[in-house]
Structure 1
């Protein structure tokens, strides 16, 4: 954490480190991580133009649904895992805004 502060993260080092800890605790599989990256990559609210934004939103919805189905199938013991991922996305967005 101290290293993050001294290497350019400043006062945000602690926040970034907390995010990394939460992310690590989820123990994502490779498939879950790749789908999560797709959800983040296809972020409709950061695209110019309504037509393109709508298409990107549809892609993001598909990736979310695939992620949800994958988790339901493979993580039957953790019904909240998908919700945890969605919360993680909001934390990631908050980090991006810093």
Structure 2
């Protein structure tokens, strides 16, 4: 794990403890490469778009790439009452990459 990731995790946990008394939950969403128009343009303009798409889609154990809607669903979950006991955590949206 890189230093920047440790900093984000530390800030998340610190803020979660600090603001819990105000009924504020603090969590982090950590997605892998998300299929956005910018990423699609990167694939389309690669020297071999098919090979680039395949490489990116096989980066994580679950093939493919999450969409912005997939990330939004995770945010909605964490903002919902279903997650009222979740604070100070990171929710990876990476198709199992952290399990490797």
User: TM-score under structure 1 normalisation?
Assistant: 0.31
More helix by share: 1
Higher RCO structure, 1 or 2 (CA under 8 Å, sep 6+): 2
More strand by share: 2
User: TM-score under structure 2 normalisation?
Assistant: 0.31
